[in-house]
Amino acid sequence: MVSSITRTQSSISEGYVAKSQGLTTEIASSFALNLISLPTTALFGTDGIRGKVGELLNAPLALQIGFWTGIVLRDHAAQNGPVILGQDSRNSSDMLAMALSAGLTAAGLEVWYLGLCPTPCVAYLTSITDAIGGVMISASHNPPEDNGIKIFGAGGGKLSKGLQAEIEAGLRGKVAPVVGVSNCGRHYSRAELIADYGQALQKPLHPQVNFQGMKIVLDLAWGAAVGLAPSVFTQMGADVICLHNQADGDRINVNCGSTDLDILAAAVKEYHADMGFAFDGDADRVLAVDNTGRQVNGDYILYLWGRHLQAQQQLPDNLIISTVMANLGFEKAWQKQGGKMIRTAVGDQYVQAEMLKTGGMLGGEQSGHILCRHYGITGDGLLTALHLAAVVQAAGISLGEMVDQSFQTYPQLLQNVRVEDREQRLGWENCEPVQRAIAQAEAAMGDSGRILVRASGTEPVIRVMVEAADSELVNYWTKELVAQVQEHIA
């Protein structure tokens, strides 16, 4: 462990509070009685608590989330320790960070505040220190007006559903905090720890890998990776060209980053680069562009990295964990290579859970959340980009050639239907006209295609995905299903 991660003497003497300690009656009552209006549906989605700032997410709610998160983390901690707090560049992130820190310190905890950093940085530092948890403020790939709160457990993994339920019970006034000795926590700025994460990303690649002679374009989406990603790739020897590389809360994810690869693709071709990488707002996922400007999604990243690990005999049972969104072309090609694929529900937490259950070492999503347990504990866009570049370098051919030699995707169309009403959106499965349309589409396509309709856990949309060998069927049934959702749910 590097020296900068050790606790200061003042933090040891002033910050921590034992499990048996609680809050004064006055502080406890203020949190227990200061209830705010909450939706009847669950607050925690597939990636924490997320919503539009000023509506669901505001400072009073963040204050209470911080407090109840602190109470729950403290009560389940094996030992005393800090909570690590980071944020992305959204205009609302400062406000939410200060409110969360106030709640955590009111619960008697010490907060190590990193400031602007990628989500995986919070997870990593939580995992290697004596922190009892971590919190990241970000809405990932969502537009600037949204924000979110992601909570990690002591090991750096996503907080379990059981502990999420305990936090939510506190927020809804169903649990009273233990009243005991008053002890206020402390807040410390620890931005220097981000460099330790950057070094940890590079360590597994040294000394064998050096990107000297490679030209790589990075689209940083005006987000959390603007400070770290360019320096890491430069330190690895690459000639780096950066796009959208300032922290800008007004423009984060707007027509850039992993949700819009057009500018990146044009830049790769303009600069005759070897490849490009597009991160989302908090850099926990990445998509690539090959040397011809062609988009390379998570399915291709998993296939190419999987083949590399397979050749190195580092992929137990030749197993890849993906989701129901993974393309059939990817699955069939992987099976031809002697591989096995297990699909989960959409969400990297489900991928991670299945990896832990099966012993799988590689998994991820088409959208660019990639997890490799050889090197990390959570989805990490920077880690994935570094290793994909290393895979290309080791192959001795271009990324475009590697993609050409991999697989052909089945035609797949994904459309989002915006549904602002949260309860209407999450209860879409109760809509009989939509269910009838899905049944008709499935009967018409038979074994030659598949349909996936689901409410997003991160955005106010219902996603409609149709995949089939025949593109005409894909277009027809996507249009039909979207029309039904718009008419009966939106």
- Positions marked active-site: 140
Distance CA 55, CA 26 (A): 28
Tokens of 26: 């006055």
Cβ neighbours around 238 below 10 Å, total: 23
Q: Measured between alpha carbons, how far is 125 from 196 in angstroms, rounded to an integer? A: 8
Strands 370-372 and 362-364, by their bridges, are antiparallel
Report whether the peptide linkage leading into residue 204 is cis, meaning its omega lies within 30 degrees of zero. no
C-alpha neighbours within 13 Å on the C-beta side of residue 3: 0
The three-class DSSP label of residue 322 is strand
User: 166 has which bridge partners?
Assistant: none
Return the closest-CA partner of residue 139 out of 255, 257, 48.
48
End-to-end CA gap in the chain: 52
Please compute, for residue 106, the number of CA atoms within 13 A of its CA located in the half-sphere on the CB side: 23
Long-range contacts of 357-360 (CB under 8 A, 24+ apart): 358/319, 358/321, 359/316, 359/317, 359/319, 360/316, 360/317, 360/319, 360/320, 360/321
What are the start-end ranges of the H helices in 217-345? 229-235, 262-270, 298-311, 328-336
Give the span between the Cα atoms of 393 and 388, in whole angstroms: 9
Distances (CA, A) of 163 to 44, 87, 97: 11, 22, 21
- Pairing relation of β-strands 48-52 and 44-45? antiparallel
Say if CB 191 and CB 92 are below 8 A apart.
Answer: no
The amino acid at residue 83 is: V
DSSP conformational letter for 3: G
Here the tokens at position 465 are 């995905």
Q: State the DSSP code for 37.
A: -
